[in-house]
A and B are shown apart, each in its own frame.
Chain A
Amino acid sequence: MRESIIMKIHYGTALGAVVLVAVHVLFRITMMSYGDSLQYENVIANYKFVPYAIMLELILVLLSVHGFNGLRVILIELKQGKSYEKAVTYGCLAAMAILIAYGSRTILLTSMGMT
C-alpha cells in the first residue's frame, strides 16, 4: 500500500477517534453522574444498547489501527533493514488483528448478555 494511503488512514482514524471518544465521554457525564455511570449495571446496559455498542466497536477499530500503525512508524524509524521492516509491518498487522478480535469478543459477548 502506498505510504500516503496509510497515513491518510492514520490521520483519518485520529480525527474519527476524537469525535467518537468525545461522544463517549459526553454520554458518561450527561446521562447521570460520572460515578453512577460506571456502576456495573449501567455499564452492562450500555453494551446492550446496540448503537452504543457499535460505537464502542468503532472506537476499538479506529484506535487499534491508529495505535499499531503509529507503532510501526516508530519502529521503522528506529532501525532499518528489509527483513526487519517486513517483520515490523506484519507483526503490527497481526497484533492489531488480535487486539481487535479480543476487544470485539468482549463487546459482542457483553451485548448479548453472556457475562
Chain B
Amino acid sequence: MANTQIAEEQSSSEVSSKTVTLKIAKFNPEHDSGTQFVDFKVQYERWTTVLDAILDVKEHLDHSVAVRYSCRQASCGSCGMKINGRPRLACFTKISELDSDVITVEPMNNYPIVRDLVVDLEGMFDTHKKMKPFIINEDSEITNTKEFLQTPEQIEEYIQFANCIKCGLCNSACPTMATDSSFLGPQALTQAYRYVADNRDKGKNERLKIIDESHGIWRCHFAGSCSQVCPKGVDPAMGIQLLRGYLLGFRK
C-alpha cells in the first residue's frame, strides 16, 4: 500500500500543474534611479519555497537576480526579504502557503539596499555587538576547569531568546526603526535580555547602561510587529518588556 502511494506522488511531481507569477524587485543603487518589478512565470509544487522559485528564475530566466542565502533551512538568517508585503525568510515560506497567484518579493525595509533582494545587515550586527553578546564572568569554564551548571528553570529564563538567528526580520518590521536611524532595535535589545537573564552572566549593569539612552529601550512603543514576523518564535517584544522590568525595578 505504502509503495503505491509513493509512486503516485512521484508521478504527479513529473507533471507540474501549477504556475505562479513571481514579481521580483530589481534595483542597483549604483546606476538605477528606482526599483523596477520584473515578472516571471514559475512552476511550483506543494513544497516549493519562495527561495526555490527565485533560484529557479536565476538558473533559467535571469541570472542577474541578486539574492543571499546559505542554509535553506531557517538557520543562517541570510534570506530575509519582503514577501507579499511581509518580512519573511524566503527559504521558510512555501508558495502554496501564501495562497496567491502573484508573489511579490522585495528587499526588507529599514536597511540600505545592496542590490535587488539583498540588504546590508551591517548596522544590525553593529548594534548586536554593542550588547556584548557573550557571558561576562571573571570565573572561566576554561581556566578553572569548572562547569557552570544550570538548572532547567535557569535555562528556561533565556533559552527562547537564544534562538535568534540574526535574520533582521524584526528590525525591518519595527515602526520605530522606520524613522529612528539611531534606535537599537528589537534584535539587539532582545539579545541584551538574553545575556542579562542568564544566571552565569555578571554583565547586567554594563548592558543596562548601554540600553538606557535616548535611542535605547525607551523608544519601543509596544507595537509588537517584531514578534509577529520572527521566524524562530523568539518574541522580541516580550524580551524588551522583560528587560524594561529591570530598569523599572520590577526585576532584580
Binding site for B on A (CB under 8 A): 2-4, 6-8, 73, 76-80, 85
Q: CA separation between A58 and B52, bound complex, in Å?
A: 63
Main secondary structure of the interface of A (DSSP, over half): helix
For B183, list chain A residues within 8 Å (CB).
Answer: 77
Q: CA separation between A27 and B240, bound complex, in Å?
A: 40
The answer to whether B214 has its CB under 8 Å from any CB of chain A is yes
Q: CA separation between A109 and B248, bound complex, in Å?
A: 39
Docked-complex contact B248 and A8, CB < 8 angstroms:
yes
User: With contacts A3-B218, A4-B212 known, what are 20 further pairs, Cβ within 8 A?
Assistant: A2-B212, A3-B212, A3-B213, A3-B214, A3-B216, A4-B218, A4-B247, A4-B248, A8-B248, A73-B218, A76-B215, A77-B176, A77-B179, A77-B180, A77-B183, A77-B219, A78-B180, A80-B180, A80-B181, A85-B214
Q: CA separation between A76 and B180, bound complex, in Å?
A: 8
Closest Cβ–Cβ distance, residue A14 to chain B (whole Å): 14
Q: How many residues of B contact A (CB 8 A)?
A: 15
Q: CA separation between A7 and B216, bound complex, in Å?
A: 12
For A8, list chain B residues within 8 Å (CB).
Answer: 248
The answer to whether B182 has its CB under 8 Å from any CB of chain A is yes
Q: CA separation between A2 and B248, bound complex, in Å?
A: 12
For A76, list chain B residues within 8 Å (CB).
Answer: 180, 214-215
Partner of A80, one of B182, B216, B218, B247: B182
For B176, list chain A residues within 8 Å (CB).
Answer: 77
Q: CA separation between A77 and B248, bound complex, in Å?
A: 22
Q: Which of B214, B216, B247 neighbours the largest number of chain A CB atoms within 10 Å of its CB?
A: B214
For B180, list chain A residues within 8 Å (CB).
Answer: 76-78, 80
Q: CA separation between A3 and B211, bound complex, in Å?
A: 9
Docked-complex contact B218 and A7, CB < 8 angstroms:
yes
What are the 5 A-B residue pairs with the smallest beta carbon separation, nearest first? A77-B180, A4-B247, A7-B218, A4-B212, A80-B182
Closest Cβ–Cβ distance, residue B22 to chain A (whole Å): 36
Q: CA separation between A22 and B248, bound complex, in Å?
A: 26
Q: Which residues 174-190 in B have Cβ within 8 Å of A in the complex?
A: 176, 179-183
For B218, list chain A residues within 8 Å (CB).
Answer: 3-4, 6-7, 73
For A4, list chain B residues within 8 Å (CB).
Answer: 212, 218, 247-248
Q: CA separation between A20 and B196, bound complex, in Å?
A: 38
Chain B residue nearest to A88 in the complex (CB): B214
Chain A residue nearest to B181 in the complex (CB): A80
For B182, list chain A residues within 8 Å (CB).
Answer: 80
